[in-house]
Amino acid sequence: MSRQERGITMFAGPFESDLVSDFAPAVSTNNIFDTIGALATSKADAPVKTVVLHEDVVLDHPRVSIDAIRSIDPSAIIVYSGKHNHQHADASVDLDVSVERLQSAIANASSLPTAFDSSEEIDLDAVLGIADEVSFTKSDAQLGDIDLVRTLMHQPTQFRATLLSVLKEQTGWTYCEFVNDESCAPETALTTSLRYGHQEHGCLAAIGSSITDLQRWGRWASCWLELHRKQRDLKLLAYQDELSGAWNRRFLKTCFSRELKLAKETRRPLTVMIFDIDDFKHYNDTWGHDAGDEIIREVVKLLRTIIRKGDHVCRIGGDEFAVLFCDPEPPREPGSNHPTTVEILAKRFREQVSKAHFPKLGEEATGVLSISGGLATFPWDGVDVDSILQKADERLLQSKDQGKNSITIGNPSHKD
């Protein structure tokens, strides 16, 4: 992968001029405000693909600075250059990083699927409808390891809160909190790193503890946090596509069954769209499989910026995808019209794909990609998962037969 394929690299802070010049095209900024301003005003034909942050420009509030950059351009790769790794960046490197090491860090970060932010962890069991029906009875006894195991198995999104409650009860500290880094802790608090092996989990901050006790409890908490992370990652492996970070076919079938049951109970419509990338084999054959992989990842990223929070993107084949539109609006009256919101989202996505920028396609990076798809909606197009998916797939084939680069919504004459 050449540096030109990655677009502009932005260096924020006092980096050596030799390092910056070796990443041409590259730009430099002096502080975080200039960095955000440059990102906000960057041109579409010269996108900033990577932001390399020197610790000096984000020393006081690194998490805030990284979040601010992501709010401006969520697609940019953020590399943190400092004495310590930063878990909220896409990659971390030393202050005296070499050109080769920085290139490698950027390449590795760009090849990874979009990860979930642990601060916004979803309850995967609840989404899939496979959560255990387990009730907890609050007792007067002090919380302990058995409460952590139960929460880990049955209420994983509450695990960090339960772990913190155990710490507070066991230690009696006047203040105890998990924080992202030392800068987030009160001035009077002691802090210790929550690290298990090479995995960072932030810091434990406490008031009323000795440094020896804090470090001992920090090691204990780190073990539990790492177990929680590994349990979650194993569950994601079963339902997530490794290449794109989208959900997989197993997730689609399981989640669709749950959502369809809810749709029947609440008398509301439920829509699924199946689409694929037109002439995808051509891209693999012409530009190589790395280009094809990049297209798949970027299509998923683009789709996630368009759909609603409750909708789900699934990769169900090589270049075939499904989007489950779980309408968050209140139930409609029986016999209401097809929800136009989904049609608008599907149309917007098709238009954005045709304008998307794919660096690995070189000079033909803009305007050469298109998709074809089909939408099917409960209850009009079927009353079970298989029949609805089959109808959506039939409409995808109709789009292909009638010229591609379109989405068939209803009957064969109803195309976008």
**Cα 362 to the chain's mean position, in Å?**
26
Element (H, E) at 228: helix 211-239
Residue range 249-408 forms a domain whose CATH class is alpha beta
Instruction: Report pLDDT for 115.
Output: 44
Instruction: Report pLDDT for 117.
Output: 44
Q: Residues 26-39: what's their mean pLDDT?
A: 88
Instruction: Report pLDDT for 214.
Output: 96
Instruction: Report pLDDT for 174.
Output: 93
Reported confidence tier of residue 62, pLDDT bands at 50, 70, 90:
confident
Instruction: Report pLDDT for 212.
Output: 96
Alpha carbon distance 135, 147 (integer Å): 12
Instruction: Report pLDDT for 332.
Output: 46
Phi, psi angles (nearest 5°) of residue 415: -130, 155
Reported confidence tier of residue 362, pLDDT bands at 50, 70, 90:
low
pLDDT digits (tens, 9 = 90+) for 142-163: 778 888 998 888 888 889 999 9
Task: Identify the residue with better confidence: 411 or 175.
Answer: 175
- Number of helices and strands in the chain (H, E): 13, 13
By percentage, how much of the chain surpasses pLDDT 90?
Answer: 36
pLDDT higher than threshold 70 for residue 82: yes
Domains 3-111 and 249-408 share a fold: no
Alpha carbon distance 362, 360 (integer Å): 5
pLDDT higher than threshold 90 for residue 276: yes
pLDDT higher than threshold 50 for residue 4: no
SS (H, E, C) 170-191: HHCCCEEEEECCHHHCCCCCEE
Task: Identify the residue with better confidence: 286 or 276.
Answer: 276
If you average pLDDT over every residue of the chain, what do you get?
A: 82
pLDDT digits (tens, 9 = 90+) for 36-51: 888 877 776 677 889 9
The C-alpha angle with vertex 294 and arms to 293 and 297, in degrees rounded to 5, equals 90
pLDDT higher than threshold 50 for residue 331: no
Instruction: Report pLDDT for 249.
Output: 94
Instruction: Report pLDDT for 334.
Output: 47
Instruction: Report pLDDT for 413.
Output: 45
Task: Tell me whether residue 179 is exposed, middle or buried, using C-beta atoms within 10 angstroms of its C-beta: 0 to 12, 13 to 18, 19 or more.
Answer: middle
Phi/psi class of residue 306: alpha, beta or left (left: φ > 0; alpha: ψ in -120 to 50)? Answer: alpha
**CATH number, domain 3-111, options 3.40.50.2300, 2.40.30.10, 3.40.50.1820, 1.20.120.80:** 3.40.50.2300
**Strands, sheet with 312-315, edge to edge from the N-terminal-most edge strand:** 312-315, 320-325, 270-277, 371-378, 407-408
Are 77 and 34 in contact by the 8 Å Cβ rule? The answer is no
The domains of the chain are located at: 3-111, 124-239, 249-408
Task: Tell me whether residue 160 is exposed, middle or buried, using C-beta atoms within 10 angstroms of its C-beta: 0 to 12, 13 to 18, 19 or more.
Answer: buried
Instruction: Report pLDDT for 119.
Output: 39
Residue labelled with tokens 């690290």: 195
Alpha carbon distance 31, 23 (integer Å): 19
Instruction: Report pLDDT for 92.
Output: 85
From 117-126, 170-179, 226-235, the region with the lowest mean pLDDT? 117-126
Ranges assigned E (strand) in 110-180? 175-179
